[in-house]
Amino acid sequence: MSKIIVNRIKSYLDKTFKDKIDLSDLVKVSDDDKQKNFLSRALAAYSLTIVAGTSILDAAIAVTDGFEDNGIDAIFLDRQSRNLWLVQSKFIENGAGGIDNGDVEKFTKGVKKLIDADFSRFNEKVKSKQEEIIEALYDASVKIQIIIAYTGKALSSHNKASINDLVIEHNDTEEILFFNDFNIDKAYKGLETGVGFAPINEDILISNWGHIEEPLKSYYGQINGTDLGILWEKYGRKLFTENIRNFLGMSSVNDEIVKTIKTEPDNFTYFNNGITILCNSIKKKPIGGSDKTIGAFTCNGISVVNGAQTLGSIGSLSATNPNELGKIKVLVKFISLEDSPAGFGQRITIATNTQNKVEKKDFVSLDGEQARIKLELKLENIDYHYKRTDEKVLSDDNNYLLEEVAFSLASLWENVDYSTLVKKESGRLWEDVTKPPYTDLFNPNISAQKIMKAVKIYRYVSNKMNELSLSAEGREKSIYRYGNSFVSHIIFCKMPREILADTNTGFDQFYKNDLPGLAEKYIQALHEKIEDEYPDSMIVYVLRNYTKCRDLKSSIK
């Protein structure tokens, strides 16, 4: 399994960073060695896009790997978040090995040299970043983040000891240096979540706070609206990485939240359900002692799992009405996942959302098959959008939506009932992710290639029937508007099934030469059969009736 994952990561690195990583210093090496160096450098850049949230271009420019790099393969200064990122990377082909401790020791010594502003034995790539490194070192608010990026499972005890010694040495009076373990699991997770998945670490002020120590550490209390507005401005939708929904923008619910902020700020605490936040760890700062009036907390790995609409609505006012936010207090619950059982964070996400206005479709985002499909499609340069958001995404060759994928797979299903369900009650396709029809459509046997082929056929039929509807009237127009799923289903039944196989290379020829004729034939057949058998029935009800659609299919076949 590790080899498969490594190959998927390799494929992404090749597609994403090809011709973006500087390899000009590798003139006298073999093609194999050049590829190995490229993968190591690309992995360093990739880790920055995921952990630091940099753009692909900035990450590529950040690469410093080469002779006399002193173990430092990438350097990036993020002035906005005030973090200096230093990376060491190693691409491990089998996904099972580790990093030689000599390389880790070399890296820790290189980090020390940079912290000491000693550039005498570094290559030109590092020296070209000298000014920004010095800028970071002289800014007391800048933190130093070190990343070990590798396609292995875990660091050895010797690796960890070397890194821990470095961290302890530089954090004796104040925490300024932090370690990020970017292993194969996090690299693979990054393929799903994409650029911008950076761990959010913040110091939070909570008033009137309380705490629970067991079984999991958690803190609760109130946060000033202004502080939440600042948090939103800094991270935006990155705060909702683990939530089943993103911020949905202005809606009836969110309009009411904004209205309460503006007209009844004193009542906001009582009217609003508050926010639930998961953290990898929570630590109370000594300041304030045991005084419950106000407390300062260091929260690492922040993710808002409930209250996205509350926080997003507050954020929408941070730029235009910042004074309004200072008048409200928001109930917030922080839960630490330290020592929690596997999957407990997901259980909290589900439990805290089932009491709010959540659509059944939102829970699809918790199904692991959706994550798999997303990353497989991403490797084909297709972004798959299965989480609800207010951002307008138009479906095209590079963007697939959950609905059209589900409708395409429903039409592909051998029984006509699922394509009928698309028109009758499409929400039932994802009503329960643990049983059919959902599990018939989304399961380990559904590959990215099959989805791509199904979507292309479904889109072709839909677009063709939409075009025909523009010049049609009456019942004919209704057939074109409501019959796309049925016609797609008939085509899927009639076409050679082997064309849908991942290894089949004849799809493009079928799509170009055969599909247009099949579409024309069965669109016309549907029109004739409906008029022959159900001349007095409303078209929309015919195409939403299981029995009538079964009979139509039988007649056409």
Computed over every residue of the chain, the mean pLDDT equals 88
The number of CA neighbours under 13 Å toward the Cβ of 492 is 31
Please state whether beta strands 202-212 and 294-300 pair in parallel, antiparallel, or not at all (unpaired).
antiparallel
Output the six-digit token pair for 217.
């550490």
Please state whether beta strands 294-300 and 281-284 pair in parallel, antiparallel, or not at all (unpaired).
antiparallel
Cα angle 327, 333, 338; round to 5: 145
Output the six-digit token pair for 288.
């304030």
Whether 16 and 44 have beta carbons less than 8 Å apart is answered as: no
Among the residue ranges 34-38, 146-150, 189-193, 281-285, the one predicted with the least confidence is 189-193
Whole-angstrom distance between the N-terminal and C-terminal Cα of the chain? 43
CA-nearest of 375, 365, 383 to 245 is 365
Burial letters 321-355, b for 16+ CB under 10 A, else e:
eeebbeebbbbbbbbbbeebeeeebeebbeebbee
**Displacement of CA 128 from its chain's centroid (Å):** 33
The pLDDT of residue 370: 93
Q: What is the pLDDT of residues 399-452, one digit of tens each?
A: 999 999 999 999 999 999 999 999 988 888 998 888 999 999 999 999 999 999
Q: Topology of 2-193 in CATH? A: Restriction Endonuclease (3.40.91)
Q: 196 pLDDT exceeds 50?
A: no
- With pLDDT > 70 as the criterion, what percentage of the chain qualifies? 93
The pLDDT of residue 355: 52
CA-nearest of 536, 425, 423 to 488 is 423
Q: 194 pLDDT exceeds 80?
A: no
Query: How far, in Å, CA of 272 to CA of 257, rounded?
Result: 8
Among the residue ranges 165-179, 281-295, 350-364, the one predicted with the least confidence is 350-364
CA-nearest of 352, 365, 334, 331 to 246 is 365
The pLDDT of residue 245: 62
Residue 121's DSSP bridge partners are: none
Whether 276 and 348 have beta carbons less than 8 Å apart is answered as: yes
The pLDDT of residue 357: 53
Task: Select the more confidently predicted residue: 52 or 548.
Answer: 548
The pLDDT of residue 525: 96
Q: 534 pLDDT exceeds 80?
A: yes
DSSP-derived 3-state class of residue 203: strand
Q: Within 10 A of 410 (CB to CB), how many other CB atoms are there?
A: 27
The pLDDT of residue 490: 97
Handedness of CA 537, 538, 543, 545 (dihedral sign): negative
The pLDDT of residue 195: 47
Eight-state DSSP code of residue 63 = B
DSSP-derived 3-state class of residue 223: strand
Task: Select the more confidently predicted residue: 164 or 98.
Answer: 164
Query: How far, in Å, CA of 36 to CA of 535, rounded?
Result: 68
Q: What is the mean pLDDT of residues 139-158?
A: 88
- With pLDDT > 90 as the criterion, what percentage of the chain qualifies? 53
Contacting residues for 434 by C-beta, under 8 A, at least 6 apart:
none
Query: How far, in Å, CA of 520 to CA of 549, rounded?
Result: 19
CA-nearest of 553, 455, 442 to 500 is 455
User: Tokens 């195409």 appear where?
Assistant: 543
Side chain identity at residue 358, one-letter code: V
Q: What is the pLDDT of residues 280-338, one digit of tens each?
A: 888 888 887 778 889 999 898 888 888 888 988 898 888 677 788 989 999 999 988 88
Determine whether 282 is exposed, middle or buried from the number of CB atoms within 10 Å of its CB (0-12, 13-18, 19+).
buried
Give me the DSSP letters along 151-195.
Answer: SSS---HHHHHHHHHHHHHH-SSS--EEEEEE-HHHHHHHHHH-T
Q: Give span(s): CATH 3.40.91, the chain.
A: 2-193
Query: How far, in Å, CA of 133 to CA of 385, rounded?
Result: 38
Contacting residues for 488 by C-beta, under 8 A, at least 6 apart:
408, 411, 412, 419, 457, 458, 461, 462
Contacting residues for 191 by C-beta, under 8 A, at least 6 apart:
8, 9, 12, 375, 378, 379
Query: How far, in Å, CA of 490 to CA of 550, rounded?
Result: 11
The number of CA neighbours under 13 Å toward the Cβ of 322 is 9
Eight-state DSSP code of residue 482 = H
Whether 341 and 314 have beta carbons less than 8 Å apart is answered as: no
Reported as a pLDDT band with limits 50, 70 and 90, residue 1 is low
